[in-house]
């Protein structure tokens, strides 16, 4: 916590705005919209809810196809199933670890040839790093396919001086407890499409018709953020730039200490982008380093240090068995390679220098490097 959260929480209590909606929600929406540079924002209960609303606004339904990054958390694709649609997964590329433009182009061309155009493309900005949005936007525009930019992990990141989450028809942020700023649980849907976001508010509030009694003509959702949690978010947003700086410094220390070790490569940062470095991620080439990623993870766990593998690609998940998947290029599967070799290191904004050096020294010890 930043320290100012209680000010906004007490305001909510003193004004008796405890239930969902209220002044903090309205203000948090304005402040996020202003920060990223869009017209409107809608505060909701989770990033997943925001993706679901975006798909609902695009009228995705049973039998439709939605393309999605494969190297991501399941929350990016679960809403596709909520709508009864079919996910098609797109491989990563090596420069950003995000959606491969060449795989996306091939997938869209094949779909066009089959007479089926996807209703949306969900592009994920992994671990804070923006995807190659110029290329992806250009390809999607050729086929008039709207983009939902899943920026759940990349609030505070930029691509060519433009805020992450603002390149698609809709952008999505998450304020889950593990994100760079948090409302405990929560998310935000952003867009320049004011009319559509007004509809999102309607759908997210159980789709209540304007009537003196409770009347409903369409399916709605209980997705709005509470006034208390929005107050937490307002205080967190005040320190977002400090958090980004802290995470980037954490990444730089890891890279400085470990980056020259043979077999270790850190997640790259694309030219003209600025990643919030939500998580520091790297790969370990067992043939060069002499040890595997799993060996390092287990060694860290033995020292009570929690590290994680990178996301398991969604096309490999039992939930999506049989789903169509497009490789980065023939016989080159980037996402599976990253899953096999990649790991995320402890990256909390409040990690101490001493704790970080303990992690670094543990990794060096695994590699038999003197510390």
Which residues are identified as catalytic? 179
Find all residues with CB under 8 Å of 13, minimum gap 6, and list them.
Answer: none
Query: What token pair was written down for 316?
Result: 């490999």
Please report how the helices 101-113 and 133-142 are oriented relative to each other, as an axis angle in degrees rounded to 10: 10
d(C-alpha 17, C-alpha 227), whole Å: 6
Alpha-carbon distance values, 249 to 253, 256, 276, 356 (Å) = 6, 10, 10, 11
Burial pattern 51-72, b for ≥16 Cβ within 10 A else e, equals bbbbbbbbebeeebbbbbbbbb
Burial pattern 185-209, b for ≥16 Cβ within 10 A else e, equals bbbbbbbebeebbebbbebbeeeee
d(C-alpha 283, C-alpha 310), whole Å: 9
- Asked if 312 and 339 count as a contact pair (C-beta separation under 8 A), the reply is yes
Detail the DSSP E strand segments found in 45-130. 65-69, 86-90, 120-124
Closest listed residue to residue 147, CA positions, set 132, 157, 158? 132
d(C-alpha 207, C-alpha 204), whole Å: 7
- Asked if 154 and 97 count as a contact pair (C-beta separation under 8 A), the reply is no
Burial grade of 139 (CB within 10 A; 0-12, 13-18, 19 or more): buried
| Run of H or E including 170 | strand 170-174
């Amino acid at each position: 916590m930043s320290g100012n959260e209680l000010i906004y929480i007490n305001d909510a209590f003193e004004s008796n705005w405890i239930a969902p909606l209220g002044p903090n929600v309205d203000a948090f929406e304005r402040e996020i919209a202003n920060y990223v540079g869009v017209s409107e924002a809608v505060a909701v209960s989770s990033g997943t809810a925001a993706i679901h609303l975006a798909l609902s606004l695009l009228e995705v339904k049973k039998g439709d196809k939605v393309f999605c990054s494969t190297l991501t958390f399941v929350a990016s694709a679960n809403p596709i199933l909520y709508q009864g649609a079919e996910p098609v997964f797109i491989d990563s590329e090596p420069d950003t670890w995000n959606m491969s433009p060449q795989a996306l182009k091939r997938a869209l061309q094949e779909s066009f040839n089959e007479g089926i155009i996807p209703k949306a493309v969900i592009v994920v900005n992994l671990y804070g790093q923006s995807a190659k949005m110029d290329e992806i936007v250009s390809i999607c525009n050729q086929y008039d396919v709207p983009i939902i930019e899943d920026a759940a992990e990349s609030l505070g990141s930029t691509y060519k001086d433009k805020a992450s989450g603002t390149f698609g028809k809709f952008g999505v942020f998450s304020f889950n407890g593990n994100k760079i700023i948090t409302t405990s649980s929560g998310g935000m849907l952003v867009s320049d499409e004011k009319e559509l976001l007004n509809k999102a508010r309607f759908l997210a509030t159980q789709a209540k018709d304007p009537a003196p009694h409770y009347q409903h003509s369409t399916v709605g959702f209980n997705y709005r953020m509470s006034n208390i949690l929005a107050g937490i978010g307002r205080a967190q947003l005040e320190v977002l730039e400090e958090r980004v700086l802290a995470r980037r410094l954490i990444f730089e220390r890891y890279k400085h200490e470990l980056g020259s070790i043979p077999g270790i490569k850190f997640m790259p940062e694309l030219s003209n982008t600025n990643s919030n470095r939500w998580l520091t991620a790297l790969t370990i080439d067992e043939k060069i380093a002499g040890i595997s990623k799993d060996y390092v993870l287990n060694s860290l766990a033995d020292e009570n240090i929690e590290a994680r593998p990178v996301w398991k690609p969604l096309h490999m998940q039992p939930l999506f068995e049989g789903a169509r998947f497009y490789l980065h290029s023939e016989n080159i599967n980037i996402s599976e390679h990253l899953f096999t070799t990649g790991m995320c290191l402890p990256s909390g904004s409040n990690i101490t220098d001493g704790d970080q050096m303990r992690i670094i020294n543990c990794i060096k010890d695994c590699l038999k490097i003197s510390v």
